[in-house]
Amino acid sequence: MRIGLALCAGVAALSVCAGTVAAVPASHGTRVSAAGGTSPSAGVAHERLDSALEGVHRAGIPGVFAEVRDGDRVWRGASGVADLRTGRPVTPGLRHRVGSITKTFTAAAVMQQVERGRIRLDAPIGRYLPHLVPGERGRRITVRMLLNHTSGIPDYIPYAFPSIQGFPSDVSSKSLDDNRFKRFRPAELIELGLAAPPTAEPGGPTGVYSNTNYALLGQLLERVTGSSAEEYITRNVIEPAGLRHTGFPDGPRIKGPHSRMYEALWGVLDPPRDYSVYNMSWVMAGAGLVSTMDDLNRFYGRLLDGGIVGRDSLARMQRTIPVRALDGTTIQYGLGLHKVDLGECGTYWGHDGTVWGAGTTSLTRADGRRQLSVAINLMRWNAPDTSGGSRHHPIDDALSALHRQALCGDGREGGVPHTP
């Protein structure tokens, strides 16, 4: 995964995350350095992080906020606005829709059930959900294949949002607007994915990212626990990890302080449209969570320290294969976890995610000491080019610079790939 494109990786909840943005008014950032009474260390160069964060805002993101941890040293910062109409500033502790970062929570919940003997990783999904995945597919596709995206089941997103299917030449916001308050049933979404042509044979050496896989895993959790996936994850992952500001929304609105979330839809929406009020039933078990950057760092720190699943389960989650993301890039993906190898800067684990108008990345170094969680409130800013790709935008370079500074803060940047 190229860090400069982390917020645009296809492993997020949407098919392609590039987009364009109109000019954004300048704003003063809100920054808190060395939180918790600590002082800045060489590993958390707060002035450089402040500058890199401000650079993302100047490049065109209305609001960006982040938390970087280096051992017991913590930096929190924010730059720009949470509301373009009122000029309300972003702050580091805002709640945010974190998209496909939810998949790590769901995978951890499944692994807990594996540890208890209620789920077998290599059992066919048809054994648990014969009504949803019947016949040959149900016999060939295993739980592990859903977790690591080797099931061959296509993503349902283009079929749930048909007005974006024609990217890059024929895109509109009609289905985004039509679905704003729609209540999708998981079985309805799963059926859309299963009805589409398979992306590959089950269990192949390379996976193809699909939200349908995690919709099925949500139904699997419900089947074996007797409660909804959201309830189980809340009780057995979120609460034990001590996450005070993380949860699944019970309606279209986010509770607590949060930013508006602006969607450019590859330049179709100019100015970008606010989609912060949205019914997330279209992707709940795969990308429905709301969280804070502090909670995300806390979660991945606990996960990698063996505090959420056992060491054997964590080792299984960290066995990666190449997976083709929805933007066409190839990433190293385990069971709900990305592996990001940054050379001299170390190996990082985590996930990224987008929903309409919101993007988030959370990465933790393998030793647990270095962490970054960063959120932005604009998505799909790169206009399409004539070849079907996306045009380069200054936002791409600014995000790359922020990620390099946050993950390689001691100056060892040679292992970090630059955005092409």
> What HEC string does the chain produce?
CCHHHHHHCCCCCCCCCECCCCCCCCCCCEEEECHHHCCCCCCCCHHHHHHHHHHHHHHCCCEEEEEEEECCEEEEEEEEECCCCCCCECCCCCEEECHHHHHHHHHHHHHHHHHCCCCCCCCEHHHHCCCCCCHHHHHHCEHHHHHCCCCCCCCCHHHHCHHHCECCCECCCHHHHHCCCCCCCHHHHHHHHHHCCCCCCCCCCCEECCHHHHHHHHHHHHHHHCCCHHHHHHHHHHCCCCCCCCECCCCCCCCCCECCCEECCCCCCCCCEECCCCCHHHCHHHHCCEECHHHHHHHHHHHHCCCCCCHHHHHHHCCCEEEECCCCCEEEECCCCEEEECHHHCEEEEEEEEECCEEEEEEEECCCCEEEEEEECEEECCCECCCCCECCCHHHHHHHHHHHHHHCCCCCCCCCCCCC
pLDDT reading at 16 higher than 60:
no
pLDDT tens, residue by residue, 305-328? 999 999 999 999 999 999 999 888
Q: Give the tokens for residue 335.
A: 């069971």
Instruction: Please name the residues in contact with 288: beta carbons below 8 A apart, sequence gap of 6 or more.
Output: 102, 230, 248, 249, 280, 281
With cut-offs at 50, 70 and 90, classify the pLDDT of residue 191: very high
Q: Mean pLDDT, the chain, as a whole number?
A: 89
Which pLDDT value is given to residue 386? Answer: 76
What is the distance between the alpha carbons of residues 321 and 206, in angstroms, rounded to a whole number? 7
What is the distance between the alpha carbons of residues 180 and 282, in angstroms, rounded to a whole number? 10
Cβ-based burial of 367 (10 A; exposed 0-12, middle 13-18, buried ≥19): exposed
Q: How much of the chain exceeds pLDDT 90, in percent? A: 82
Query: Could you give phi then psi for residue 201, rounded to 5 degrees?
Result: -75, 145
Higher pLDDT, 343 or 384: 343
With cut-offs at 50, 70 and 90, classify the pLDDT of residue 300: very high
pTM above 0.85, yes or no: yes
pLDDT reading at 14 higher than 60:
no
pLDDT tens, residue by residue, 168-181? 889 999 999 999 99
pLDDT reading at 12 higher than 70:
no
Return the residue matching tokens 């992080």.
49
Higher pLDDT, 229 or 1: 229
Which pLDDT value is given to residue 409? Answer: 79
Higher pLDDT, 265 or 390: 265
What is the distance between the alpha carbons of residues 14 and 79, in angstroms, rounded to a whole number? 25
Count Cα neighbours of 366 within 13 Å in the Cβ-side half-sphere.
Answer: 12
pLDDT reading at 220 higher than 90:
yes
Tell me the average pLDDT across 243-256: 97
What is the distance between the alpha carbons of residues 367 and 185, in angstroms, rounded to a whole number? 40
